[in-house]
Homo-oligomer: A and B are copies of this chain.
Amino acid sequence: MYQTSPQLDKNNRLRHLLTIDGLTREHIVEILDKAEGFFIPKSGQIIQTDTLQGKTIANLFFEPSTRTRSTFQLAAQNLSASVLNLNISHSSTSKGESLRDTVLNLQAMQCQLFVIRHGSSGAAHFVAQQVNPFVAVINAGDGCHAHPTQALLDMFTIRKHRGDFQKLRVAIVGDILHSRVARSQIHALQLMRAGEIRAIGPKTLLPAHLEQLGVKVFHDLSQGLQGVDVIMMLRLQTERMQKGLLPKGNSYYRLYGLTSETLAMANPNALIIHPGPVNRGVEIQSDIADSPNAVILDQVTNGIAIRMAVMSLLMENRLS
């Protein structure tokens, strides 16, 4: 028997956005193209539409996040949706209610789209299983599992600045093992047929079996960056340092920080990508983060358009 993905409908259209894994190249290109349509040509300004007028979007954040929550809120407001922000910490207001009950209640309040960030891998999948056919779910980061809108905005940014993925050598640098961002990026780069995908990091922080996925593994930053066209830096989770998984203080920077010296190994004009917020002097030299090839702020802008694209696509697919 053929088991359909929980995020696709029977016509293989996107029903929810839970993970990049299992999508096709066409799904991704459809979203990137739709996002492109939200920009005013040349000005770089994003338009506002009434596409989701009368719809209500619930931002369900079980992990604290100002930045990502803001991008989803702004994307929703750009589409004229009503927004309900819910920052749910364990201590506070949930009164011990289960995730399922929380979601069913919000559904009963007629929220049609849930954006969910949660510390547990699989939380967004779980929510998608609970909702009725009129509700769609977007995974805004679940544990160490996936962060699909981040990977999509990264693909949008690479396509915009460098075009054809097949010509590109792309390196992902940092704690790939625990990174939901990296996991989604690798799947997306594969679907976009990147010429070569590299993973660079300490042995303890690279997942097993990366090579079986076609990813080349490096433990030395200078070696890994050699001839690379796109450098995707990961944010260092400093709490991992405290747990002893990462070398403390600036020995990480010495080994895996992107500096003028290590950057020199990459192709001139190598594009530098970072999910933000940047830890200056921890994973990247401060002036490199501000250099013209570092498109970190452009990623933020693209993230608004990508989230608008995903939201409107899911609402369209739901209705038809």
* A residues contacting the other copy or chain, number (CB 8 A): 45
Which residue of B has the minimal Cβ distance to A48?
B54
In the complex, A277→B106 CA distance in Å?
Answer: 12
Q: Which residues of B contact A78 (CB under 8 A)?
A: 82
Q: Are A301 and B74 in contact (CB under 8 A)?
A: no
The number of times this chain is found in the oligomer is: 3
Q: Of B82, B97, B108, which is within 8 A of A77 by CB? A: B82
Check if A101 sits within 8 Å of B66, measured CB to CB: no
For residue A304, CB closer than 8 A to chain B, the reply is yes
Q: Are A109 and B277 in contact (CB under 8 A)?
A: no
| Cβ-based interface call for A276 (8 A) | yes
- Which residues of chain B come closer than 8 Å to A110, judged between CB atoms? 45-46, 74, 301, 304
* Docked pose: A98 CA to B77 CA in angstroms: 26
Minimal beta-carbon separation of A240 from chain B (angstroms)? 14
**Which of the segments A84-92, A144-152, A168-176 contacts the partner chain?**
A84-92
Is A70's beta carbon under 8 Å from chain B?
Answer: yes
- CB pair A86–B66 under 8 Å, yes or no, is yes
Q: A101-B278, A278-B101, A304-B109 are in contact. Are A74 and B94 (CB under 8 A)?
A: no
0/1 interface trace, chain A 279-320, chain B, CB 8 Å (1 if under)? 110000000000000000110110010000000000000000
Which residues in B have their C-beta under 8 angstroms from that of A276? 105
Known: A54-B48, A74-B82. A92 touches B109 (CB 8 A): no
In the complex, per-residue mask of A45-83: 1 if CB is within 8 Å of any chain B CB, else 0: 110100000101000000011110011011001100010
User: Other CB < 8 Å A-B pairs besides A71-B109, A74-B110, 6 of them?
Assistant: A48-B54, A74-B111, A77-B82, A105-B276, A108-B297, A108-B300
In the complex, 11 of the A-B residue pairs with CB atoms within 8 angstroms, ordered by the A residue number, are A66-B86, A67-B93, A67-B105, A70-B86, A74-B109, A78-B82, A96-B277, A96-B279, A104-B297, A110-B301, A110-B304
